[in-house]
Amino acid sequence: MTLDQLRCLCAIAETGGFRLASERMRRSQPAVSQQIKALERELGHSLVERRAGTLTPVGQRMYERARHILVEAESLVREMDDFGEGQGRVLRVGTSDTTALYALPPVMSAFSKRMPEARLMLVNRSSDAIAEHVARGDLDLGIVTLPVAQKVLEQRPLFEQALVLVTPQNHPLATQSATTLDALRHEPMLLLDAATRTGSLLRSYFQDAGFMPQVVLDTGSFEVIKRYVAEGIGVSFLPRAVVTSADTALAVVEVADVPSVRIGAVWRSEAYQTRVERTFLQIAEEMLQPMQ
């Protein structure tokens, strides 16, 4: 039995079949199949239902044990790396576009100065996708919207993003420092896509408040929303941090009881955390927590 065979089995379990597993492992499908066949011969059990691409009961049990073995093996390599030239390793961090654009630049700059031998690789995806990549071990750390569903992940809150109403500068509400949700019932609204964590949070808030927004645009992009608000198409709710001094055509108005978005770091709780990862987390806490 080899670690490579266990990796192939885990890839099939987590992707749902040989084709996707081979794509993840960057190998041919026959190569992955051969590894599984060799493992099955050694164990004397069928591990994968070939037609469905799903695990047999024995295969599922094997996957649960194999996953822990692989985490331990990877942790051992990472821990040994810390005794040598560990500072020169690659740190793989994932986060959303918004956090990457508005929160992480100073963190990355400070990290590069403190650990110049480390190489930082940043991946932009949705919070849910980043959490999944971290849980699978494809990324070392994630800076995501909390909470996350994966039980294998450790979560550490970093800061909260307040959500505010954003209007054009010439809008009647722009002269007010605060307003109510009820005052927005007839306002055309540019709403964040429900597939985003912030968009989902806003929709739950509206539903609990009995508020039915007059949606004229549904998008996952903060930048698209800002542009259309500036053009007078409607109003929107956005994290305060995304409205900067450069957005001179926009006004920010407080609305009572609007929920905040919690942003935090996630990593695999079973995996060894290297000096590089610990340093990045320390810097992120030092620089992001004052943003609350």
Counting every residue, how long is the chain? 292
Give yes or no for a contact between 233 and 188, defined as CB atoms under 8 angstroms apart: yes
pLDDT tens for residues 45-84?
A: 999 998 888 899 999 999 989 988 888 888 777 777 777 6
- Split at pLDDT 50, 70, 90, the class of 289 is confident
Q: Which two tokens stand for residue 195?
A: 């597939």
CATH number of the domain within which 204 lies: 3.40.190.290
Nearest alpha-carbon partner for 168 in 248, 71, 239, 283: 248
**What local confidence, expressed as pLDDT, does residue 50 receive?**
85
- Together in a domain, 12 and 74: yes
The dihedral region occupied by 174, where left means phi > 0, alpha psi between -120 and 50, and beta the remainder, is alpha
- Split at pLDDT 50, 70, 90, the class of 271 is confident
**What local confidence, expressed as pLDDT, does residue 137 receive?**
83
**What local confidence, expressed as pLDDT, does residue 15 receive?**
87
pLDDT tens for residues 200-230?
A: 999 999 999 999 999 999 998 899 999 999 9
**What local confidence, expressed as pLDDT, does residue 253 receive?**
95
Count CB atoms within 10 A of the CB of residue 236.
26
Percent of the chain with pLDDT over 70: 97
Burial profile 109-145: b = 16 or more Cβ within 10 angstroms, e = fewer: ebbeeebeebebeeeebbbbbbbbbbbbbebbbbbbb
Q: Which of 142-151, 243-252, 267-276 has the lowest mean pLDDT?
A: 267-276
CATH number of the domain within which 9 lies: 1.10.10.10
Average pLDDT, the chain: 90
- Together in a domain, 128 and 240: no
Give yes or no for a contact between 9 and 53, defined as CB atoms under 8 angstroms apart: no
Q: Which of 53-62, 76-85, 114-123, 160-169 has the lowest mean pLDDT?
A: 76-85
Helices of type H across 88-196: 97-102, 105-114, 127-136
- Together in a domain, 152 and 278: yes
- Together in a domain, 152 and 271: yes
- Split at pLDDT 50, 70, 90, the class of 164 is very high
Give yes or no for a contact between 77 and 271, defined as CB atoms under 8 angstroms apart: no
- Together in a domain, 152 and 266: yes
**What local confidence, expressed as pLDDT, does residue 51 receive?**
80
Nearest alpha-carbon partner for 161 in 62, 288, 64, 39: 288
**What local confidence, expressed as pLDDT, does residue 270 receive?**
80
Q: Please state the separation of Cα 51 from the chain's center in Å.
A: 33
CATH number of the domain within which 128 lies: 3.40.190.10
Query: 82, 97, 124 — which closes off a domain?
Result: 82
The residues that bridge with 165 in the sheet, in sequence order, are: 237, 253
86, pLDDT greater than 80 = no
- Together in a domain, 211 and 71: no
- Together in a domain, 168 and 135: no
Percent of the chain with pLDDT over 90: 66
Instruction: State the residue range of the domain holding 271.
Output: 85-159+262-291
For the question of whether the overall pTM of this predicted structure is more than 0.85, the answer is no
Query: 28, 49, 82 — which closes off a domain?
Result: 82
- Together in a domain, 102 and 220: no
The dihedral region occupied by 269, where left means phi > 0, alpha psi between -120 and 50, and beta the remainder, is alpha
Query: 30, 63, 82 — which closes off a domain?
Result: 82
CA atoms within a 13 Å half-sphere pointing along the CA-CB vector of 85: 7
**What local confidence, expressed as pLDDT, does residue 73 receive?**
84
**How many domains are contained in the chain?**
3
- Together in a domain, 126 and 247: no
- Split at pLDDT 50, 70, 90, the class of 292 is low
- Together in a domain, 166 and 253: yes
- Together in a domain, 94 and 75: no
Give yes or no for a contact between 136 and 13, defined as CB atoms under 8 angstroms apart: no
- Together in a domain, 105 and 133: yes
Q: Which two tokens stand for residue 99?
A: 């956090």
The residues that bridge with 250 in the sheet, in sequence order, are: 168
**What local confidence, expressed as pLDDT, does residue 227 receive?**
96
